[in-house]
Structure 1
């Protein structure tokens, strides 16, 4: 799905996440946007990181069906999974090189090394 919007109806705004996963049958009626995602993934850069962690995540939390929000760094081996627990609180699960990532919303596991396979990070001095 190219250019799929995450529509936050209660705020009357939308974003274009890098990955959006929905299993909700209500989303079948919408061709260009989804309102009921369970997982949203954003690939962050130094220029977008503040917005993705702050205002955008604040807005995404208005999506009642959202269970996980994942930030994947493009300049280092780092994946952060924010997962909504049974009390409705968002808990951070950080992952770094060599660890296995678990996406509970999909019951999916993979090595962080698989995500960054063939990626060469620039060394800054």
Structure 2
């Protein structure tokens, strides 16, 4: 499902998106979400970069900057493919984004949907990772 960003007049295709906003019920027939609560991206070496020097939007840089314009977005989660690492950016009550990094052995908490899981469950059956 794609996410529509009005301010950027564009669409993104996150790996996972969660909406709890009834206004998105109308958008489902149009195949996009306007009011996401949670967005999750699985990073690849090419999408993980911070730089603005490529045409493609990068998950940590340009794309996250655009996603921050979504008033309903509470959390943006980046899952590494190269190591056991999850970065959860959570908007606090003052509107600032706070990083909650998780690594090997940690339990992940996604406040936006009140979800807990062991980081190990995300990397289950993956043997070639540090």
Residues 1:29 and 2:26 aligned together = yes
Task: List runs of 5+ in structure 1 lacking aligned partners.
Answer: none
Cα distance in 2 between the residues matched to 1:47 and 1:114: 24
- Report the TM-score when normalising by structure 1: 0.93
1:122/1:86 CA distance change after superposition, 3 Å: closer
Residues 1:111 and 2:110 aligned together = no
Cα distance in 1 between the residues matched to 2:129 and 2:91: 33
Counterpart for residue 89 of structure 1: 96
Counterpart for residue 12 of structure 1: 9
CA contact (8 A) 2:84 2:129 kept: no
1:102/1:122 CA distance change after superposition, 3 Å: closer
RMSD over equivalenced CA pairs, Å: 1.0
Task: List runs of 5+ in structure 2 lacking aligned partners.
Answer: 50-57
Cα distance in 2 between the residues matched to 1:15 and 1:80: 19
The size of the alignment, in residue pairs, is 120
- Report the TM-score when normalising by structure 2: 0.90
Counterpart for residue 69 of structure 2: 62
Matches within 5 A, 1:33-44: 33-44=32-43
Deviations 1:59-103 (A, max 9, x none): 000100000000000111000000000000000000001100000
